[in-house]
Amino acid sequence: MKKYILTLAVATIGLLQTGCREEELELGPYNSITLDQVFNTQTDFQNAVNGMYAGFLGASYYGGDFIIVPDLLADNLIINQRGRLTNRTFSEWIYSGESTSGLFFSAYGVIRRANAVLENIDKLPAGAPRDNFRGEALAVRALAHFDLLRMYAKAYTTASAADLGVPYVTSTDPTLKPSREPVKTGYDKVRDDLIEAEKLIATANGVGRLSRAGVNGLLARLYLYRAEWQAAVDAATKTLTASPGIGTIQEFPSIFRDATENGVLFKIRVVDKDAISVGVNYSQASANGIRSEYVIDYDLFTKYAANDVRKTAGISTSAFSGTPYNHIAKYLGRPVGNANVVDPKVLRTAEVLITRAEALAQLGKDPEALADLNRLRQNRYTAFDATKAIETGPDLKLVIDLERRLELAFEGHRFFDLKRKNLSVVRVVKYGDRADGTGVTYVKGTIPAGDPRFQLPIPQAEINANPNVVQNPGY
């Protein structure tokens, strides 16, 4: 049976059930089905929505590269010379149209599944289930486009009216060959989809699905990227009112072992039988110890205080073949089950809290921003004394930035945070990959702010298939 790469130009809907990999899909006339056959009952729509979320588990999406690439593009990770030397294209900033992130195909696979739900939703009778499915599909479509914009387009705050984003696809028509839209148009469409989703989606949908609190959390993230500070505060407040828990010091390690849902707004469910080892991009277990692909940058390692629970919950120092390394622990796996199998966390309440703190500080509301910051620190540092934590002005903003980096490290944020702030990537090149900072250092150390490499190249396969998609400058 012939296999086709799923570009925008040669896409087909296919089956929407869990188990399809969105990078490639087996097609044949004898097993083709129409949308009329797929979408009839509420159960059909539930199955399609489950498949929509499952699309996030692609090897180039939250099931793999997207949870590591934004950190190794920046200054949070350094390649371990005793690993398999994977992803060097990103670590050394030598990507091209022929060697770039596969997110382009993975995300549009998710978008297609969401659009299939939206195109057929009126087959259901009016009511809460229909509204909820519509809201989930709108939110998923928005999130996937947002991720594409973060990866392949300039930041909203630095883009001109002429700078191109990505095609915002709202149809399942496989014959369409859409063009790239302006960055700001794409961000507006993400916002509009999320706003509409927030009106429709249920307040609770269970683990592995978005809810109203999650949608407001995504809106807070979006407004932060747009530097619309009050809107970010308002959206974050809705989330924090509905779901205030960020995980205590005692609970925090359990978040990354899937032993608690406290502090998790949206994650993708993975079970052993899925055969998806999310953490394999970071490390693999072996008879000689943990063999890491990438370890924490030593300069960042020194920024975690001894009384910071994140230092032990997110980092594991141990030897591989006799040499100590600082391994990433967030993806080692659950207490029981296969190694490296864990649910990728797409959105946590702590992110929303630190987003509100940043937005409040930008508005000059230092006391409120400090209160949010201290709430985070009280739940991360043992014996934290808030009476001595009284930062204001520029110092407060610097501490908020640091805490955001420490909290969200290895979860796919760092490169995008530097990009949205128009900052350079500046690695401390004197340190190497070993636990004490010795060893082999970075090959390359700096990407200046505004450099074309902040926008990854569009895959050449897509450009070949769709002449209306043009490459990013510099490639």
Indicate the pLDDT class of residue 454, thresholds 50, 70 and 90: very high
What's the first-to-final CA gap in the chain, in angstroms?
35
| Residue 186 and residue 151 in contact, taking contact as beta carbons nearer than 8 Å | no
Closest CA to 93 of 475, 422, 432, 437: 475
R_g over Cα of the chain: 22
pLDDT in tens, 221-233: 999 999 999 999 9
CB 19 within 8 A of CB 41: no
Residue 199 has pLDDT above 80, yes or no: yes
Q: Which of 187, 207, 168 is nearest to 8 (CA)?
A: 168
Contact (Cβ atoms closer than 8 angstroms) between residue 134 and residue 204 = no
pLDDT value of position 32: 53
pLDDT at 35: 67
3's enclosing H/E stretch is: strand 3-5
At residue 37, the pLDDT reads: 73
- Say what percent of the chain tops pLDDT 90: 91
Structure confidence at residue 3 (pLDDT): 31
Give the pLDDT confidence score for residue 29 in this predicted structure. Answer: 40
Whether 455 shows a pLDDT value over 60: the answer reads: yes
Spatial neighbors of 336 by CB under 8 A, at least 6 apart, are none
User: Looking at the predicted structure, is the pLDDT value of residue 366 above 60?
Assistant: yes
Average pLDDT for 186-209: 98
Average pLDDT over residues 435-454: 98
Nearest to 334 by CA among 227, 452, 255: 255
Could you give phi then psi for residue 7, rounded to 5 degrees? -90, 170
What's the CA gap between 56 and 112, in Å, rounded?
12
pLDDT digits (tens, 9 = 90+) for 28-42: 344 456 666 789 999
Say which residue the tokens 């060959």 belong to: 177
Task: Kindly report the average pLDDT of the chain as a whole number.
Answer: 93
The stretch 130-151 carries a mean pLDDT of 98
Q: Locate tokens 């960042």: which residue?
A: 300
Which conformational region is residue 31 in: left (phi greater than 0), alpha (psi within -120 to 50 degrees), or beta?
A: alpha
- The whole model's pTM is what? 0.94
Higher pLDDT, 27 or 246: 246
pLDDT confidence of residue 38: 82
Q: Which two tokens stand for residue 244?
A: 């205030």
Question: What does DSSP assign to residue 339?
Answer: T
Average pLDDT over residues 8-12: 38
Domains, the chain, in order of start with CATH, read 3-267+345-465 (1.25.40.390)
Better-predicted residue by pLDDT, 344 or 273: 344
In this model, does residue 395 exceed pLDDT 70?
yes
66, 258, 389, 459 from 263: Cα distances, Å:
21, 11, 24, 36
Q: pLDDT-derived band of residue 220, with 50, 70 and 90 as boundaries?
A: very high
pLDDT tens figures, 250-309: 999 999 999 999 999 999 999 999 999 999 999 999 999 999 999 999 999 999 999 999
Q: Residue 56 pLDDT > 50, yes or no?
A: yes
